[in-house]
Amino acid sequence: MKNRPTIAIGSDHAGFECKELLVQYLADNGYEFKDFGTFSSDSFDYPDVAHPVARAVESGEFERGILVCGSANGVAITANKHAQIRAAICWLDDIAQLSRQHNDANIICIPARFVSSQLASSMVELFMNTPFEGGRHATRVGKISC
């Protein structure tokens, strides 16, 4: 099996069902991961999971992250407050792949209300296994931080 990145994963209540399917997908496919919650479909504030996942990736404890909420906007906005995080909202395979190739994104944000579980799994697989191209893209990524 190829070397796979370690993953921090989390969701709010709207993303809970999708996150649970992704947790099973990660387990079935040999990924090392930590589930940061939520652990039910009860109302849950997305910053309460987005910050811990972002901190875990930012610190280097995990190489990549997955955040899931209804639209993916809340978790992306929150995660991107962290200086070393490049959280990308993805709703198509091509976008997930390009977020890695061109933006060196380290957290994928999935809009659970707008993608199927099959598409979510496919995007995660692409996101985890697509390398950053570097080159001209590295120059651009280097200009992101304030």
Catalytically annotated residue among 13, 82, 90, 102: 102
Smallest Cα–Cα separation from 67: which of 102, 36, 113, 24?
Answer: 36
Is 90 designated active site? no
Catalytically annotated residue among 18, 69, 90, 109: 69
- Rounded to the nearest angstrom, the gap between the alpha carbon of residue 119 and the centroid of all alpha carbons in its chain is 14
Q: Give the burial class of 13: count Cβ atoms within 10 A of its Cβ; 0-12 exposed, 13-18 middle, 19 or more buried.
A: middle
Is 69 designated active site? yes
Q: Which amino acid is at 102?
A: H
> Beta strands 87-89 and 64-69: pairing type?
unpaired
Active site residues: 69, 102
